[in-house]
Amino acid sequence: MKEIKLRKYNQGLNQLFYSTRLEGENELRFNFSPFDEGSSWIANGPLSKIMMYTGVNDQNGKKIYEGDIVQIIHDQKPVIKQTVRFNHGKFIPVCDYRSTELKIVGNVFSLKNDGEP
């Protein structure tokens, strides 16, 4: 089964929050602690953006999420930078390359992608 992980960008706080999966009897919820503390709302309004983990790690072992900017590496040389997005049932450009050819160089919010627990 695919590992479901989410992260949330909160525009008001200019921060990324990573989810913890909470399983109940009849539901599946995600908590973005410490921001959500007990809240069942996933987005918390218009100032938030939810992004899903692609299931792929880059060449350095970092998890690649929607909204990350990845450097495509070919023959050990940087070729192009692209923003990861979900389109027509797949994550672009992640689905077209091996993890050894991808390196996270940033995200659309210009924040470091090193705060994940």
Q: What is the pLDDT along the chain (117 residues), one digit of tens a residue?
A: 567 888 888 887 888 888 877 776 677 777 776 655 545 455 556 678 889 999 999 999 999 999 999 999 998 898 999 999 999 999 999 999 999 999 999 999 875 555 554
What does the pLDDT read at residue 25?
Answer: 67
Model pLDDT, residue 73: 95
pLDDT of residue 53: 94
Q: Backbone phi, then psi, for 93, in 5-degree steps? A: -90, 5
Burial of 98 (0-12, 13-18, 19+ CB in 10 A): exposed
Q: How far apart are CA 70 and CA 55, in angstroms?
A: 15
Tell me whether residue 54 is exposed, middle or buried, using C-beta atoms within 10 angstroms of its C-beta: 0 to 12, 13 to 18, 19 or more: buried
Residue 107, token pair as written in the block: 């995200």
pLDDT recorded at residue 40: 46
* Token pair 């900017």: residue: 69
